[in-house]
Structure 1
Amino acid sequence: MSDNSDIYDDPRALQAYLEDEANPFHHDPSIEDVNTPLWREVFWPSEYFELLCSATYRGRGVPHGNGEPVLVIPGFLANDVMMLPLRRWLKRIGYRTYSANIYWNTDCPDKTATSLAHKARAIHRKTGHKVRLVGHSLGGMLAKSVLYRAPDVIGGVITLGSPFRDHVRAHPAVTGVWQYLINGQGELVGRNLTTSCSSGYCMCDFVRHMLQPESQPVPQFAIYSRVDGVVDWESCIEEDPAANSEIEGATHIGLIYNKRALSALAQRLSQITAEKAAETEKGNAPV
């Protein structure tokens, strides 16, 4: 056993030691604090009001769907209510939308992804069409995990400001809230969480899908902003530059309300349908 007697002479060293003893996953290399411009997030309402006054909101100037199912997944600390304007807009432009049945997205991500995979299969059985997944922030990471769990029923994945690359790089305020929930202090909203939950030390499928992604023959697109105030934009892009859509000036929250982000989303959904239609001509696969 190592001699730790010196730490008792230094209160800060003692505190750090006790933190590590209480939580062996305290120093997690898969989560990195980044000083993103969090202050910019106060401007997201202006993006929403700009959307309401635009032709895009009325479904003009964007590609329309033809009843294809879209499962919309909210981000961390968010819920289906926050995604309601997006779902209504997708319905307005011709898609059949489904909520994720998430009241507060603070549950164990692995359990949430499992539940969403079951929901995606149920939607596929009901509609006969492969499901498009649209996820914001953590919701996009969940969408990626759902794809790995149920690739046969997923038609495509579109992420909005989702840090799915290698490890999470986010503002300390965000990672701090997650740690607060992990420590059991957020019992009202954080459920089924363990000390290692979503850390690089967790052995669950969700973490494995993020840290060791597998190639899937399914269209995957990323919509992001370089001035995202919550997460580092470089964590939010696909390796293929052609699969990425940058929304200049958008906030993290605003990516689900920004008229340019929604226009990009409509374009990517249309692209998924076009690619699936080409496959159908070759092998008569359902779209």
Structure 2
Amino acid sequence: MVTRNIMVPCSSQISAAVGTSVFSRLAAALRVPLWHEAQAFRQRREVERHPLWDIPPLEVAGLPVLLVGGMGSTPTLLSPLQELLRRLECRVRVAPVRFGVGCGEATTSMVEGALADLVESASTPVVVIAHSRGGQFARAVAVRRPELLRGLITLGSPLTRMLAVHPLLKAHIAALGAVGAIGAPGLLRPGCLWGACCARLRADLTGPFPHTVPFLSIYSRDDRIVDWRSCLDPAARHHEVTTSHGGLIWDPASLYAVVEELAALTGTTRVATDKTPNPSHFAA
């Protein structure tokens, strides 16, 4: 199993302060997912001072990339990954998933439309990078329109089971479904899991994947939102890092894996300088 990939300054102080809290210890023992995510998020600003953001390790000028967020996704959550891609001089767009809480098939159609628009404007296939539930939409689009993709990278996406998430999140999804079932617009419904509306999406998640599309699934066993085993799509190559679910968007260990995959997809040599850190420096 991969060990912690990045040491964050002052994390020991944070851990010591939090560790004195009875609630913190209880939350850790119960594996409360949002508490774990909140603690990891506290370190995000420190991690963003990492040299990875100062010295882009790759030059892929103009490479079109479509970002696909998951449930609860916002521009703020995606901003670290988006900023890194812009520093690499990628042409980045964010797919309109509307917080990722809508009908899966309807959202997949929106992602497909955004991808087609970017391909048309860029005149070349696009790399799709998707986080969490966004990976489900992205995989389905890759199955339907493989000619539009140069490659697919998923981050903590439950691909082999649609609801491979923590029980507390399942309860949240059930509540959203109940509200959607009584007619609230823009929300998923219980039928999305077994009804006709998302039958095609479910088939595309478990069906054959086009061999012409390179597919990398990045996951973490420390993910307390998504069951990491569901990220192991048989059609994908798998890359393990050690971080939280949200950390897959901003942790250098995860972002280095993204950079290496972009280098492989474009045939570009990673820029190496005496100041460019090696990801192995952060593996214990």
**TM-score of the aligned structures, taking structure 2 as reference length:** 0.76
Return the offset for 1:190: 6.1
Residue 253 of structure 1 aligns with an amino acid whose one-letter code is G
1:102 aligns with 2:97: yes
Partner of 2:254: 261
Between the aligned partners of 1:115 and 1:240, the Cα distance in structure 2 is 24
CA displacement 1:60-101 (0-9 Å, x = unmatched): 4x3332211000011112223321232121011121100112
Bigger Cα Rg: 1
Between the aligned partners of 2:120 and 2:224, the Cα distance in structure 1 is 39
3-state SS of 1:118 partner: helix
Partner of 1:48: 44
Is the contact made by 1:36 and 1:232 (CA closer than 8 Å) also made in structure 2? no
1:247 to 236, 241, 253: 241
Between the aligned partners of 1:157 and 1:97, the Cα distance in structure 2 is 14
Partner of 2:164: 169
Between the aligned partners of 1:147 and 1:112, the Cα distance in structure 2 is 14
Residue 83 of structure 2 aligns with an amino acid whose one-letter code is R
3-state SS of 1:246 partner: strand
Is the contact made by 1:181 and 1:190 (CA closer than 8 Å) also made in structure 2? no
3-state SS of 1:251 partner: coil
Kindly tell me the number of residue pairs found equivalent between the two proteins.
238
Between the aligned partners of 2:235 and 2:209, the Cα distance in structure 1 is 15
**TM-score of the aligned structures, taking structure 1 as reference length:** 0.75
Is the contact made by 2:155 and 2:248 (CA closer than 8 Å) also made in structure 1? yes
Return the offset for 1:168: 3.2
1:125 aligns with 2:109: no
The farther-off stretch of 262-271 and 97-106 is 97-106
Partner of 2:5: none
Is the contact made by 1:71 and 1:97 (CA closer than 8 Å) also made in structure 2? yes
Return the offset for 1:233: 0.7
Q: Where do residues 24-35 of structure 1 align in structure 2 (5 Å cutoff)?
A: none
Q: Using a 3 Å threshold, how does the CA distance of structure 1 residues 154 and 47 change in structure 2: closer, same or farther?
A: farther
Q: Which runs of 5+ in 2 are unaligned?
A: 1-29, 269-284
The farther-off stretch of 178-187 and 109-118 is 178-187
Return the offset for 1:143: 0.9
3-state SS of 1:81 partner: helix
Return the offset for 1:199: 3.9
Q: Using a 3 Å threshold, how does the CA distance of structure 1 residues 193 and 41 change in structure 2: closer, same or farther?
A: closer
Kindly, what percent of the aligned residue pairs are identical?
A: 26
Q: Using a 3 Å threshold, how does the CA distance of structure 1 residues 149 and 47 change in structure 2: closer, same or farther?
A: farther
CA RMSD across the alignment: 2.5
Is the contact made by 2:103 and 2:198 (CA closer than 8 Å) also made in structure 1? no
Q: Using a 3 Å threshold, how does the CA distance of structure 1 residues 105 and 178 change in structure 2: closer, same or farther?
A: same
1:111 to 106, 109, 116: 106
Q: Using a 3 Å threshold, how does the CA distance of structure 1 residues 79 and 186 change in structure 2: closer, same or farther?
A: farther
Q: Using a 3 Å threshold, how does the CA distance of structure 1 residues 81 and 41 change in structure 2: closer, same or farther?
A: closer
1:84 aligns with 2:79: yes
Is the contact made by 1:163 and 1:235 (CA closer than 8 Å) also made in structure 2? yes
Q: Which runs of 5+ in 1 are unaligned?
A: 1-34, 276-287
